[in-house]
Structure 1
Amino acid sequence: MKIHSDYIPLTQAQIAAAQHTDIAEYLQSRGEKLKREGAHFIWKAHDSCVITGYKWYQNSTGKHGAAVAFVQHFFGMSFPQAVLELIHGKQISLELSKPHPPQKPPKAEALPVAFALPPSAPDHRRLFAYLTQTRCISPDIVSDFLLDKLIYQDTSGNIVFVCYDKNGLVRAAHRRGTNTAHRYRGFVSGGDFTCGFSYVCETADTLYVFEAPIDLMSYISLHRHEPWHRSCYLSLGGLSDEALHRFLKEYPNIREIVFCLDNDAAQPENWGQIAAQKYVRHYGKKYTTRINTPHLKDWNAVLCAAGKEVAPRCQAVR
């Protein structure tokens, strides 16, 4: 059976072959740089994009799919152009619709990687210096999060943000580098990233939602003289609401959601505020919802700007 799109004849076999193209191999053929993270690859040009075989997920926007959608999204091609790109179609001819030899079956998906937290360093000096001096986060907040085992420093000097479920089991973890000259952030392989990084008050009815763990800690630092312990705080690890959906199922006591997402006003698309408005409409059907927008790019930028006079070493880093 043929499918016609934009007057380009494509067969189901061609579309299937394109959809199951290994995205990492395709990007490498274009000269793009990738970094392996366990069974996944991180595309350096878009470091929020996680690639596994023919599938991809962009944490900053929540967009995902197979190989054809990847080429359409990142390279601006139409569906038929993306298919021809992935099967290396150089020209359109009637031969495209002729029977082809049996296609090789798509590569088997990688087996799930066993999840384990990275080993802990003997001390947390680099973590403490980075969060308090570079990121301006209150030392008291950092100490609280360390004592609650929400964060720690691994043996590579990275900060590990630990994600717990309702039962106190570790389900996932994020890592952030402390070397400002070499930016690094990523997921610990094998984790369940429907489980976000959170600070939980079991009796709270209000939840504050952020894109990143550092913004969560920054917001708490800005409100550290208030009874912040009486609320819940959740980092989505991007803009997908999967972690929020899970959190609300696990904590049915939540009645109000405050979306504190980034303010990307300087960008062509203000994705953080677009997502906030979408989620207010969606979750507003069941919860009281509101948007708390930072007047700068994000809550860490707000914190660093507020702390410059008393902490001149603080400098906003993204």
Structure 2
Amino acid sequence: MPTTKEMTLDELCNQSIQGYLDLKGIPYDQQGPYLRLKDHDSLVVDTRIGGSHTNETFFWNSQGIGGNLYHFLRNYENLDKVATIAELKAVAPQLSNRPLPNIQATRKPYQPKKWQASQDSRKMGQMLNYLQNVRKLDPVLVHALAERNLVRPLSNGDAFFAWVDNKGQEVGGDVQGTRINYNQFGKRGTRKMIARGSRSQWGFHFNVRDNRRKDLSCDKLYLFESPIDALSFFQMNGLKVPEGGNRHFVSLNGAGSKVKTLLPYLAEYGIPKEIHLGFDRDEAGINGVYKAVDLINQWNFRNTVTVYVDQPATGKDWNDALKVGDHRKQVQTFKEWAKEHPQPGQQVSRPEQQQQPAWGQLPFDQPKVRQR
């Protein structure tokens, strides 16, 4: 393999896109040779090499653009020409040592033992500092999750959000980096990925039961792009003694298209009366809303469900609003929201101040994660 100095410009530009995604911790779903990004589900990478395919390529359907790794950095990372070439040279040593993927390999099942909690108290401190001081999650909330093994520090101090099925078995998880490094992780600043083998029909979720009810059936389903968004919304809008129906909070890992994987979840917990979409207030979030509604409209029970769009008054997402202490929100039916947000989306107007309930003790209902 040639060194970075020996690589031609074409060789630099045609390096592995999948290798770059793995190096930077950019999450994606894989279907055979194709990768679909979590945060922009219309961006697809073709990893096939051979015949007419001389290198990995991508195509961003919503933007109408595509190409090799050079074009990916220009458009996805929004780098100029000089910065793109510098980045290609910087990542070349690691990408050149990366083994070629075996796209014929079968999908390996999720292995919980690979994602066990670190026993090093310093790693726990690193995770707590990030979640409580950087992300501003309430210590009561974080410790309630940790006690149930729903969030835990990994050996490198990153936070792991466990996915649990209806039987209490761990079936996957999200990795949220706790070290901010824009040079390594680009504009996101931290590592984000899905644990290999995670069962796609599940995600990080938790339930809040109406204090007048004993069952856990789903009356109101709240969907978010990430675990931290779901927790931020709950912290700002959760009631100590909730009434008005059982509420389920689910992370979709950044893609509105994952709504189609919710059917097994709904088969277990029942069809909700309301579905609330709490996606980001950016173009990807707006497209995610439309994608989710398109999929919901394909369900045979769509006429019994009312779809709402819940958005914060401040920032791009719910955690942005939490960090600045702005608990205002705007809740609209999808039809009302769509009048103001045709594709592509427009700026959300700021709603009037709403009085928020006091933050109190957590009414978690699901059991602790069972250890294997």
**Could you tell me the TM-score, scaled by structure 2's length?**
0.58
Query: 1:250 is aligned with what amino acid?
Result: E
Question: 1:303 is matched by which residue type in structure 2?
Answer: L
- Could you say if the C-alpha distance between residues 268 and 170 of structure 1 is closer, same or farther in structure 2, counting changes exceeding 3 Å? closer
- 1:221 — aligned with what? 235
Cα displacement string for residues 217-264 of structure 1 (whole angstroms, at most 9, x for unaligned residues): 101111245445942100011222134333212211532211111110
Displacement of 1:141 in angstroms is: 1.1
- Counterpart position of 1:175: 175
- The structure number with the bigger radius of gyration is 1
- Please tell me the residue identity of whatever aligns with 1:119: Q
1:137 Cα deviation (Å)? Answer: 0.9
Partner of 1:235: 251
Q: Of 190, 194, 197, which residue of structure 1 is paired with 2:204?
A: 197
State yes or no: 1:186 paired with 2:193.
yes
User: Equivalents in 1 of 2:15, 2:291: separation in Å?
Assistant: 32
Alpha-carbon separation, structure 2, partners of 1:53 and 1:248: 27
Partner of 2:221: 207
- What's 1:49 paired with? 28
Cα deviation code 1:79-114 (max 9, x no counterpart)? xx99xxxxxxxxxxxxxxxxxxxxxxxx76113224
C-alpha separation between the residues in 1 aligned to 2:125 and 2:28? 30
Residue matched to 1:111: 106
Q: How does 1:89-168 map to 2 (within 5 A)?
A: 109-117=104-112, 118-122=115-119, 123=121, 124-168=124-168
Taking the aligned partners of 1:146 and 1:252, their CA distance within structure 2 comes to 28
Going from structure 1 to structure 2, the CA distance change for 1:224 and 1:305 (only over 3 Å counts) comes to same
Once structures 1 and 2 are overlaid, which stretch shifts more, 147-156 or 112-121? 112-121
1:303 aligns with 2:322: yes
Bigger mean CA deviation after superposition, 170-179 or 234-243: 234-243
1 CA distance for matches of 2:250 and 2:128? 21
- Tell me if structure 2 keeps the 8 A contact 1:261–1:276: no
Does structure 2 retain, via aligned residues, the 8 Å contact 1:42–1:51?
A: no
Evaluate the alpha carbon distance shift between residue 219 and residue 279 of structure 1 in structure 2; reply closer, same or farther with a 3 A threshold: farther
Q: Sort the Cα spacing of 1:77 and 1:213 in 2 relative to 1 into closer, same or farther, 3 A.
A: closer
In 2, Cα distance between equivalents of 1:188 and 1:221: 26
Structure 1 residue 160 displacement after superposition? 0.6
After the TM superposition, which of the residue ranges 112-121 and 221-230 deviates more from structure 2? 221-230
Task: Tell whether 2:266 aligns with 1:248.
Answer: yes
AA partner of residue 305 (structure 2): Y
> Post-superposition shift, 1:172?
1.0
CA deviations 1:34-90 (Å, max 9, x no partner) are: 448xxxx6374x924345662222222444878399644379469xx99xxxxxxxx
| Distance change in 2, residues 1:187/1:31 (3 Å) | same
SS of 1:270's equivalent? Answer: helix
Q: Secondary structure at the match of 1:142?
A: helix
**Secondary structure, counterpart of 1:233 in structure 2:** strand
Structure 1, unaligned stretches of length 5 or more?
1-25, 83-106, 309-318
**How far off its partner does 1:280 sit?**
6.1
- Structure 1 Cα separation of the partners of residues 225 and 236 of structure 2: 17
Determine the C-alpha separation between the residues in 2 that align with 1:227 and 1:254: 20
Residue 285 of structure 1: SS of its match in structure 2?
helix
Correspondence for 1:3:
none
Q: 1:50 to 1:208 in 2, by over 3 A?
A: closer
Moved over 6 A (4+): 26-29
State how far apart, in whole Å, the 2-side matches of 1:191 and 1:27 are. 34
Compute the displacement of 1:211 (Å). 0.9
User: Identity across aligned pairs (percent)?
Assistant: 19
- Structure 1: distance between partners of 2:171 and 2:235: 26
Letter in 2 for 1:213: P
Q: Work out whether residues 39 and 284 of structure 2, in 8 Å CA contact, stay in contact via their aligned partners in 1.
A: no
* Change beyond 3 A, Cα 1:176–1:270: same
Aligned residues: 251
CA distance in 2, matches of 1:119, 1:263: 34
Give the distance between the partners of 1:238 and 1:268, measured in 2 at CA: 9
Whether 1:58 aligns to 2:37 is yes
CA distance in 2, matches of 1:185, 1:70: 22
**What are the Cα deviations for residues 141-183 of structure 1, in whole angstroms up to 9, with x where unaligned?**
1111112221111111111111111111111111011112351
Cα distance between partner residues in 1 of 2:310 and 2:285: 18
CA–CA distance in structure 1, aligned partners of residues 307 and 254 of structure 2: 19
Which amino acid is 1:212 matched to?
Answer: S
One-letter code aligned to 1:58: L
Q: CA deviation at 1:29?
A: 6.2
